[in-house]
Amino acid sequence: MLKKLMTMFSSLFRQQKSRQLTEFDNDVIILMNKHRINTVGYAIIDNFNIVAANTIGGNASININSIFQACSLSKSLTAYAALNLAAQNKLFLDLPINQQLKSWKLSHSEYADIVTVRHCLNMTSGLSFGDPGTFFSGYGQYAALPTLLQILKGEKPATNPPIKIIYEPGTKYFYSGAGFMILQQLIEDIVGMNFALYMNDKFLPKLGMLRSTFECPLSETYRKLAINGYKSDKQQIEGGWDHVVGSASGGLWSTPSDLANFCIYLSRLYVDKAGATVEKKLIKEMLAEYQNTDFGLGLVVDAVSGALNFRKNGHNAGYHCEMLMFPEYGKGVVVMTNSASGIEFVNEFIATISDELNWPAYRKDFNELVSSPVVKRLK
């Protein structure tokens, strides 16, 4: 069914008729009802182009330009920014991060001067807010918002304990948002400006992400586009959504099409279809293999059938999303939901697309929180 509809999808996307529903969209609605999801956005990529995209929700104001919290997909953008600074010799991947930070430094650990940027990017930093199993949460619409430094130090109004090192860096996979918040501080120290302003000005336009923002809190312009999030009990988040002050870790707001543009941009670089030599080296670094982890730099790297793919999923209060891309084939998908329990919908949606379009095999049991280097890339 999906193959027959691809031409229709492409025409629909080009004409921007986001409220018109195709036969496939009606199937999506059936799947949404099955999993009790309020709003879904998707973008399907084929031959390095977006061939189908839509955002479907009960609210008549929701359309293809509406924005979701991109959750931990933010980390992939942060990794790209960090690598750009590394290419300019302003940031050093393998120099201890304490030697590069100015405003704040890791302390109270024998490993404090061992943690590197590369460790943070490939999830082997051992950094955590508290003990294993402790997760950083956002702040309600009406809560006092801490500064980034207050979060790093664990000082009020931050609600988290201070960052600490719970594993020896480089020895163990441990999913760490804390490491990306330190990277946010490092980037701000290096460029001398707010992280959100830097990303919005320097990278989002270049990557074709013209409807996206790292703002926190959102300006009125973006508030009008924001899709409200829903908790696992199907109740709307109070005020619509939580603020994510650690923008580098989980604060991006975006659309499926914008994130698809990012996937396409990286993939074209990877297969030498576009970009300068320096940028080609960046994506090679992002998709390289590293010891004790299946993360590259800011992305999960998988080659279960010999066909390389990169992916990232994300989960915030009220949102769940994922992007999956086969860079050598120019095929991929981005799917975003406004539900904390959206993972089952996302998995079934991607599996359906994969089966219908005869994609190469990929790891369908994917879970970043317990991820491990199961499969090595073929040489």
Q: What is the pLDDT of residues 296-333, one digit of tens each?
A: 999 999 887 778 999 999 999 999 999 999 999 999 99
pLDDT for residue 186 is more than 80: yes
Fold type of domain 74-200: Beta-lactamase (3.40.710)
Q: Considering the chain, what percentage of its residues have pLDDT values greater than 90?
A: 75
How high is the pLDDT of residue 133? 57
3-state secondary structure of 312: strand
pLDDT at position 364 over 90? no
Give me the count of residues in the chain.
379
pLDDT at site 48: 96
Q: Each residue of 269-278: pLDDT tens digit?
A: 999 865 668 8
pLDDT at 189 over 90: yes
CA distance 362 to 368: 14
For residue 354, give Cα distances in angstroms to 303, 332, 348, 360, 372. Answer: 15, 9, 10, 8, 23
Lowest mean pLDDT among 21-35, 107-121, 242-256, 312-326: 21-35
For the chain, domain boundaries: 2-12+21-72+210-370, 74-200
Q: Is pLDDT of 154 > 90?
A: yes
Average predicted confidence (pLDDT) for the chain:
89
- Binned at pLDDT 50, 70 and 90, residue 12 comes out as very low
Residue 374: predicted pLDDT: 45
Q: Is the pLDDT of residue 7 over 50?
A: no
Provide the pLDDT confidence category of residue 14 given band limits of 50, 70 and 90: very low
Which of the four CATH numbers 3.40.50.720, 3.30.465.10, 2.60.40.10, 3.40.710.10 does domain 2-12+21-72+210-370 have?
Answer: 3.40.710.10
Beta strands in the chain (DSSP E): 39-46, 49-57, 68-69, 127-129, 163-165, 253-254, 300-302, 309-316, 319-326, 331-337
Distances (CA, A) of 66 to 39, 57, 275, 278, 300: 10, 10, 29, 34, 27
Q: Which of 128-132, 156-160, 177-181, 313-317 is least confident? A: 128-132
Q: Which DSSP letter does residue 318 get?
A: T
Pick the residue with more confidence: 254 or 291?
A: 254
Structure tokens, 174: 């441990």
Q: What is the mean pLDDT of residues 277-293?
A: 87
Q: Quick one: pLDDT at residue 137?
A: 73
User: What are the counts of helices (DSSP H) followed by strands (DSSP E) for the chain?
Assistant: 12, 10
Q: Which of 72, 291, 95, 308 is CA-nearest to residue 175?
A: 72
How confident is the model at residue 1, as a pLDDT?
47
SS3 assignment, position 297: coil
- Contact criterion met (CB below 8 Å) for 162 and 131: no
Cis amide prior to 146 (ω within 30 degrees): no
Q: What is the mean pLDDT of residues 331-351?
A: 95
* Residue 247 CB coordination number (10 Å): 26
Intrachain domains 2-12+21-72+210-370 and 74-200 with the same fold: yes
Quick one: pLDDT at residue 23? Answer: 82
Q: How far is the CA of 166 from the CAs of 95, 113, 169, in angstroms?
A: 20, 14, 9
pLDDT category, 183, cuts 50, 70, 90?
very high
pLDDT in tens, 88-99: 999 999 999 999
Flag whether pLDDT at 365 surpasses 80: no
User: Is residue 58's pLDDT more than 60?
Assistant: yes
Name the token pair of 20. Answer: 């018109």
